[in-house]
Amino acid sequence: MAREAGVSAMTVSRVVNGDEKVRPGTREAVERAIATLNYKPNISAQILAGVSQIRIGLLYSNPSAAYLNEFLVGCLGAASQAQAQLLVEICEVGQQAGDVAARFLASGIDALLLPPPLCDSETVLAAVVAAGLPAVRVGTWDSEPAIGAVSIDGYRAALTMTAHIAALGHRRIGFIRGNPDQTASERRFLGYRDGLAQAGLAFDPGLVAPGLFTYRSGLEAAERLLTGTAPPTAIFASNDDMAAATVAVALRRGLAVPEDLTVCGFDDTSIATTIWPELTTIRQPIREMSHAAMVLLLKAARARRAGQAPERAHIVLDHALVRRFSDAPPRRLD
């Protein structure tokens, strides 16, 4: 390997183990040699030689199994590529979350990954800052100078979806909010509200129902919106779980989707394509977001081991409106 790259064995070792101090040209030469020789590192030998793996902690509490599935695929892919360990700790949102986070941070992990809703927990964030370990929040828009973040622009995404529904001809557009403790919920609501204004539609508080990003809360919110003398002709839910629940409520009430009721979601998780009709939704690249967060954490952990200051960054990935079969122009005039 060293002969193929024209460098010393020590330099090869530094590149394989992610040393940030290796010059770019040297790193490229070693990486070309790795590809040419189809080199695969011997993990057992590395451990015996005292090369410890980076240990990334994932503190998790999310009611959506579909979100978790996408999130873990991105995490595990990045961990596998870097030969890092991913340790998962379940933590319920509440007063004890800060204590759970503090214990996890003291367990020997090198960095911490915080998906929603814990990315917005004040007690968890305080524990992270106190521990001084690198951390990255996923899915939040709120700024914390000591902690990195990866997200989409949920405001712009919700604005886009609301404009799309209005362009179909809908004038009474209902909205199901997300968990009030998460910054993403407020961003999506503001996008919906401003999207109405841009379409020349008045905001009606009676067309907004509370939700918690859970299927059950979606059922309750949809029932609330569809009960009344002037129900909406379209409902935009803050995630796919609640949108799927809305479809179920509509069908139970004898409404055809999308002929009688347009239903749109947010996230583009697996449930969006496992129900019928398949959901028109905003694609939030959850897998790519968790992968990008892991890359940031791995770089920060290596920098910290080298005695360097970890880089803080807020990466904003692109979203997309994915149109399927749950939206259509309104059958009746509003």
Give residue-wise pLDDT tens across range 166-204: 999 999 999 999 999 899 999 999 999 999 999 999 999
Flag whether 324 is in a domain: no
Flag whether 216 is in a domain: yes
Distance in angstroms (rounded) separating the CA atoms of residues 269 and 289: 13
Same domain membership, residue 66 and residue 88 = yes
DSSP letter for 211, please. -
Flag whether 240 is in a domain: yes
CATH number of the structural domain spanning residue 98: 3.40.50.2300
Within 10 angstroms of residue 44's Cβ, the number of other Cβ atoms is 8
Distance in angstroms (rounded) separating the CA atoms of residues 78 and 56: 11
Q: How confident is the model at residue 19 (pLDDT cuts 50, 70, 90)?
A: low
For 119, half-sphere exposure in the C-beta direction (CA atoms, 13 angstrom radius) is 28
CATH number of the structural domain spanning residue 30: 1.10.260.40
Place of tokens 């398949």: 278
More confident residue, 292 or 312: 292
Same domain membership, residue 162 and residue 183 = yes
What confidence score (pLDDT) does residue 33 get? 66
Flag whether 331 is in a domain: no
Same domain membership, residue 277 and residue 202 = yes
Phi/psi of residue 127, nearest 5 degrees: -65, -40
Phi/psi of residue 262, nearest 5 degrees: -80, 135
Flag whether 175 is in a domain: yes
Query: What's the token pair of residue 169?
Result: 């001809």
Cα dist from 143 to 83, 112, 129, 286, whole Å: 30, 17, 13, 19
Domain housing 229 = 154-284
Flag whether 20 is in a domain: yes
CB 32 within 8 A of CB 5: yes
Same domain membership, residue 103 and residue 42 = no
Residues facing 314 on adjacent strands: 149
- Per-residue pLDDT of 311-328, as tens digits, reads 788 899 999 999 999 999
Average pLDDT score, the chain:
87
Place of tokens 């939040």: 140
Flag whether 83 is in a domain: yes
Task: Supply angle C-alpha 265, 239, 162, rounded to 5.
Answer: 45
Considering its fold, how many domains does the chain have in total? 3
Same domain membership, residue 168 and residue 257 = yes
Same domain membership, residue 161 and residue 126 = no
Distance in angstroms (rounded) separating the CA atoms of residues 279 and 222: 16
H-type alpha helices, 83-214:
97-105, 122-131, 154-167, 183-198
Flag whether 333 is in a domain: no
- Per-residue pLDDT of 119-133, as tens digits, reads 999 999 999 999 999
Same domain membership, residue 197 and residue 243 = yes
